[in-house]
C-alpha cells in the first residue's frame, strides 16, 4: 500500500513541482496585480480594460455575438487579477487545464511528460510580460476541451463523425468565436496524422471554413475574417509585448509538431518515470557494501532530482526570458502607485536604470515623496525632469496618473478631462470610474456621480465601495464626509483659464494663492522653483509664509537659500537661522570643491557625485540629479 502511494507520489511529483514552481513565479515574481493596474499606462498600448459587471444585462450583451461568452469569461477572470493569490491561482488553473488537455490530445501516457508542459510555459511567458493572456488561455482550453470531446464521441460513434464535428464547431464558434478555427485545424491535423482519414480531414477543413463564413456573414453580419486577427499573437499587443507574441506563435507551432512527434514516437521509458521506478540505480547494484544512503537512491529518484532541477530551471528561464526590464519596472511603479505602496515604489525606482527613468517614473516618484513628506528633502536623490513633474508626457497613455495628480493638486477640470479621455480609451476601468465619482461629487454634480456609482455597484471588486458611497451620498449628496472628496473640494481651482494660458509655475502658484492650505500645490510650487532654478522665489515664498528658526525649512529650501545668497554675493553667515549651520557648512565645502575643478565641469560632476549627488547644490550646478545612485 505504502509502495503504491510512493509510486503515485513519484509519478505525480514532477507535475506537482512544475505547477508549484509556476504558482510561486506567478505569486512572487509576476504578481497579477501589476497586470490589473497596468491598463492605461504609458507605452503599453491602447488596450481596453475588460470590465465585468454583475447582472443579466451584461451577460445578455455577451450572448449577441460569437465569442461573447469567451469575452465574458475573460472579463470575469481579469477582475481576479486584482488579488495576488486568487489571480495567481486562477492563471495556474488555466495552465493546468491547458497542460492536461495538451497531454490528452497528444495521447501521451500519464506521468511525467516534459513536452506537454510547453503550452503552459508559453502562456506563462505572456503573463510574465504582464500581458493579460486570459483570452488566449481560455480560448485554447475551450478548443482543446472540445477536441477531446469530439474524439471521445467520434470514437464511439464513428458514423456520426462529421455531424458531431459540425455541431461542436458551431457550439465553439458561438462560445469562443474565432478560436473554433483552432479546433477545426486540430481536428483536421489529428485525422490526417493519427487516423489517416484522407477524405474526412479535407471535408472537415471545408466545413470549418464554411461554418465560420456562414456564422460571420449571415448569422452575425460581421465583416468576414475580421475576427481572425484575434488569433494572431500580436492581437491586443503593442510592440512591447514581443515575448508574448513569440510565445503565441510558438504555441501554434507546438500542436502540429506535437501531433507529428507523438505519431512517430510513442512514449518510451524516458517519458514514463513509473516504468523505470522499479529499476535500481546502477551504483546501488554494483556493490552491496556501498553506503546506506546510496543504496536507497534508485534510478527513479535520480531522475526525480534531475527533473525537479530541470523544471525549476525551465520556469525560471521562461520568466527571465519573458521579463522586460523596462516595462516590468514601470508597471511595478504604476502598480505600487495605484495601491499607495510608496516605500515599495521608491525602492523600485532606485533600481531603474537612468535610460529607463522616464517622465512617468519621475511623476510617480515625486508624488510618492510628497506623500511620505520627503519631497523637499529627497527629490534630488532621484533623477528629475521638470516635464514629468506635474504632468507626465502629454500623451493619452498617462491619463490615469495625470488624472490623480491633477485631482489632488486642484486642477479639477483637467482631472475631469483626463478621466473622460481614459474612460473612452481604456473602457470602464474601475479606477477611472472612481475618480469620476470623486470629481463630480467634489464639483457638486451628485447626479452625475451617481451614474458612475451605479456602474461601479455592478463591479465584483468595487461594488461594495460603490454601495457604501451611494449610502453616504443618500445622506449627504455633497459627500462632504468623504475625506478625498473634501480634499479635492478644498483645493479645486476656481479660476478659469485655458490650459496653456500661463506657465505651469503660475498655474500652481494660482492654486496656492486660492488656498493657502493647499499643501501639495505649495510643495509642488517650491519644487518647481527648485527645478527651474528660481532660487530667489524660494526665499520670497518662505518669507511670505513666515518660516522661522523654530521651524526651519527643509533641506533643499535651505540649500536654495544658500545658493541665492551666494549668487547675489550677499554675506554668508553660519548663524543664518533659515539656512542653518549644517547647510552652511556643506554649501561652503561644495563651493570650495567646485572651484577646484574650474571649468572642468565633467570632472567636477563625477567627483562631486558621491558626496553631493543628492543635493540641490549638485542639481543647480549640473542640471542633473540622482547621481548618487
Residues in the site for another protein, rule: CB under 8 A?
46, 48, 57, 221, 223, 396, 411-414, 416-417, 420-421, 423-425, 428, 440, 443, 445, 447-448, 450-452, 454-455, 457-458, 492-501, 507
CB of 451 to another protein, least distance (A): 6
Q: Which is nearer to another protein, 57 or 602 (CB)?
A: 57
CB atoms < 10 A from the CB of 185, how many? 18
DSSP 8-class letter at 222: P
Per residue in 264-287, is it b (16+ CB within 10 Å) or e — as a string?
eeebeeebbbbeebeeebeeeeee
Q: Which is nearer to another protein, 98 or 436 (CB)?
A: 436
Measured between alpha carbons, how far apart are the two ends of the chain, in Å? 61
- Which grid cell sits at 187? 481536428
Q: Which is nearer to another protein, 251 or 397 (CB)?
A: 397
Q: Which is nearer to another protein, 377 or 478 (CB)?
A: 478
CB of 492 to another protein, least distance (A): 8
CB of 489 to another protein, least distance (A): 13
CB 274 within 8 A of CB 11: yes
Q: Which is nearer to another protein, 63 or 501 (CB)?
A: 501
SS3 annotation, 578-601: CCCHHHHHHHHHHHHHHHHHCCCH
Q: Which is nearer to another protein, 243 or 491 (CB)?
A: 491
- Which grid cell sits at 282? 546502477
CB of 493 to another protein, least distance (A): 5
- Which grid cell sits at 248? 503565441
Q: Which is nearer to another protein, 325 or 506 (CB)?
A: 506
CB 360 within 8 A of CB 401: yes
> Counting Cβ atoms within 10 Å, is residue 55 exposed (0-12), middle (13-18) or buried (19+)?
exposed
CA distances to 114, 299, 628 from 270, rounded to whole Å, are: 10, 12, 54
Q: Which is nearer to another protein, 86 or 501 (CB)?
A: 501
Q: Which is nearer to another protein, 421 or 519 (CB)?
A: 421
CB of 616 to another protein, least distance (A): 31
Q: Where are the beta strands (DSSP E) in 107-196?
A: none
CB 443 within 8 A of CB 412: yes
CB 204 within 8 A of CB 165: yes
Nearest CA among 92, 86, 81 for reference residue 34:
81
Collect all residues with Cβ–Cβ distance below 8 Å to 98 and sequence separation of at least 6: 119, 120, 123, 137, 140, 141, 144
Backbone phi, then psi, for 154, in 5-degree steps?
-65, -25
Tell me how far apart the alpha carbons of residues 217 and 211 are, in angstroms, rounded to a whole number: 10
CB of 409 to another protein, least distance (A): 12
Give how far the C-alpha of residue 459 lies from the chain's centroid of Cα atoms, to the nearest Å: 20
DSSP 8-class letter at 459: B
CB of 56 to another protein, least distance (A): 9
CB of 494 to another protein, least distance (A): 5
CB of 545 to another protein, least distance (A): 25
DSSP secondary structure of 484-500: HHHHHHHH-------TT
Tell me how far apart the alpha carbons of residues 48 and 68 are, in angstroms, rounded to a whole number: 16
Q: Which is nearer to another protein, 91 or 425 (CB)?
A: 425
- Which grid cell sits at 111? 506521468
CB of 491 to another protein, least distance (A): 12
CB of 495 to another protein, least distance (A): 6
Nearest CA among 35, 17, 105 for reference residue 77:
35
CB 561 within 8 A of CB 553: yes
CB of 101 to another protein, least distance (A): 33
CB of 392 to another protein, least distance (A): 16
Tell me how far apart the alpha carbons of residues 158 and 151 are, in angstroms, rounded to a whole number: 10
Q: Which is nearer to another protein, 88 or 493 (CB)?
A: 493
Q: Which is nearer to another protein, 18 or 426 (CB)?
A: 426
CB of 411 to another protein, least distance (A): 7
Q: Is 48 helix (H, G, I), strand (E, B) or coil?
A: coil
Q: Which is nearer to another protein, 33 or 457 (CB)?
A: 457
CB of 512 to another protein, least distance (A): 15
Nearest CA among 622, 626, 552 for reference residue 590:
622
Q: Compute the C-alpha angle 191/197/203, nearest 5°.
A: 85
> Counting Cβ atoms within 10 Å, is residue 82 exposed (0-12), middle (13-18) or buried (19+)?
middle
CB of 68 to another protein, least distance (A): 16
Collect all residues with Cβ–Cβ distance below 8 Å to 43 and sequence separation of at least 6: 238, 240, 327, 330, 397
Amino acid at each position: 500500500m505504502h509502495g503504491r502511494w510512493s509510486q503515485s507520489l513519484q509519478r505525480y511529483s514532477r507535475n506537482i513541482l512544475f505547477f508549484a514552481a509556476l504558482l510561486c513565479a506567478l505569486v512572487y515574481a509576476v504578481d497579477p496585480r501589476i497586470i490589473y493596474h497596468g491598463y492605461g499606462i504609458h507605452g503599453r498600448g491602447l488596450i481596453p480594460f475588460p470590465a465585468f459587471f454583475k447582472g443579466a444585462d451584461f451577460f445578455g450583451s455577451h450572448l449577441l455575438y460569437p465569442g461573447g461568452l469567451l469575452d465574458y469569461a475573460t472579463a470575469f477572470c481579469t477582475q481576479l487579477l486584482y488579488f495576488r493569490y486568487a489571480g495567481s491561482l486562477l492563471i495556474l488553473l488555466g495552465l493546468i487545464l491547458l497542460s492536461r488537455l495538451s497531454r490528452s490530445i497528444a495521447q501521451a501516457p500519464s506521468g511525467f511528460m516534459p513536452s506537454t508542459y510547453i503550452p503552459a510555459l508559453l502562456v506563462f511567458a505572456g503573463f510574465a510580460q504582464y500581458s493579460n493572456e486570459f483570452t488566449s488561455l481560455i480560448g485554447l482550453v475551450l478548443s482543446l476541451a472540445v477536441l477531446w470531446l469530439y474524439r471521445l464521441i467520434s470514437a464511439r460513434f464513428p458514423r456520426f463523425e462529421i455531424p458531431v464535428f459540425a455541431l461542436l464547431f458551431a457550439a465553439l464558434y458561438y462560445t469562443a468565436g474565432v478560436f473554433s478555427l483552432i479546433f477545426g485545424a486540430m481536428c483536421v491535423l489529428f485525422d490526417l496524422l493519427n487516423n489517416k482519414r484522407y477524405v474526412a480531414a479535407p471535408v472537415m477543413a471545408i466545413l470549418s471554413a464554411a461554418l465560420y463564413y456562414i456564422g460571420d456573414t449571415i448569422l452575425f453580419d460581421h465583416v468576414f475574417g475580421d475576427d481572425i486577427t484575434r488569433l494572431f499573437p500580436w492581437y491586443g499587443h503593442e510592440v512591447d509585448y514581443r515575448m508574448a507574441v513569440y510565445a503565441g506563435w510558438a504555441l501554434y507551432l507546438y500542436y502540429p509538431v506535437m501531433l507529428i512527434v507523438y505519431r512517430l514516437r510513442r512514449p518510451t521509458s524516458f517519458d514514463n518515470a513509473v516504468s523505470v521506478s522499479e529499476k535500481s540505480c546502477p551504483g546501488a547494484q554494483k556493490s552491496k557494501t556501498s553506503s546506506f544512503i546510496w543504496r536507497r537512491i534508485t534510478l527513479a529518484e535520480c531522475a526525480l532530482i534531475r527533473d525537479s532541477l530541470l523544471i525549476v530551471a525551465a520556469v525560471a528561464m521562461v520568466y527571465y526570458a519573458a521579463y522586460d526590464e523596462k516595462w516590468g519596472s514601470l508597471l511595478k511603479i504604476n502598480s505600487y502607485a495605484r495601491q499607495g505602496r510608496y516605500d515599495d515604489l521608491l525602492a523600485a525606482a532606485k533600481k531603474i536604470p537612468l535610460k529607463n527613468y522616464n517622465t512617468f517614473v519621475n511623476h510617480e516618484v515625486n508624488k510618492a515623496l510628497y506623500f511620505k513628506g520627503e519631497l523637499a528633502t529627497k527629490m534630488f536623490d532621484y533623477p528629475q525632469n521638470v516635464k514629468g513633474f506635474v504632468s507626465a508626457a502629454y500623451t493619452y497613455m498617462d491619463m490615469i496618473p495625470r488624472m490623480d495628480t491633477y485631482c489632488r493638486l486642484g486642477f479639477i477640470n483637467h482631472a475631469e478631462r483626463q478621466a473622460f479621455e481614459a474612460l473612452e480609451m481604456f473602457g470602464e476601468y474601475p479606477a477611472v470610474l472612481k475618480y469620476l465619482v470623486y470629481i463630480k461629487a467634489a464639483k457638486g454634480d451628485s447626479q452625475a456621480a451617481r451614474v458612475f456609482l451605479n456602474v461601479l455597484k455592478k463591479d465584483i471588486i468595487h461594488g461594495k465601495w460603490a454601495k457604501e458611497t451611494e449610502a453616504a451620498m443618500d445622506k449627504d449628496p455633497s459627500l462632504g464626509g468623504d475625506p478625498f472628496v473634501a480634499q479635492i473640494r478644498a483645493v479645486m481651482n476656481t479660476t478659469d483659464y485655458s490650459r496653456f494660458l500661463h506657465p505651469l509655475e503660475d498655474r500652481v502658484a494660482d492654486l496656492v494663492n486660492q488656498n493657502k492650505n493647499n499643501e501639495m500645490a505649495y510643495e509642488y510650487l517650491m519644487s518647481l522653483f527648485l527645478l527651474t532654478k528660481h532660487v530667489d522665489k524660494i526665499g520670497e515664498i518662505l518669507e511670505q509664509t513666515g518660516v522661522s528658526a523654530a521651524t526651519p525649512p527643509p533641506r533643499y529650501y535651505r540649500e536654495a537659500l544658500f545658493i541665492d545668497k551666494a549668487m547675489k554675493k550677499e554675506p554668508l553667515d553660519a548663524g543664518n537661522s533659515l539656512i542653518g549651520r549644517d547647510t552652511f557648512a556643506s554649501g561652503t565645502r561644495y563651493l570650495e570643491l567646485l572651484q577646484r575643478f574650474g571649468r572642468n565641469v565633467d570632472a567636477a560632476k563625477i567627483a562631486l557625485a558621491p558626496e553631493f549627488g543628492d543635493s540641490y547644490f549638485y542639481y543647480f550646478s549640473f542640471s542633473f540629479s540622482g547621481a548618487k545612485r
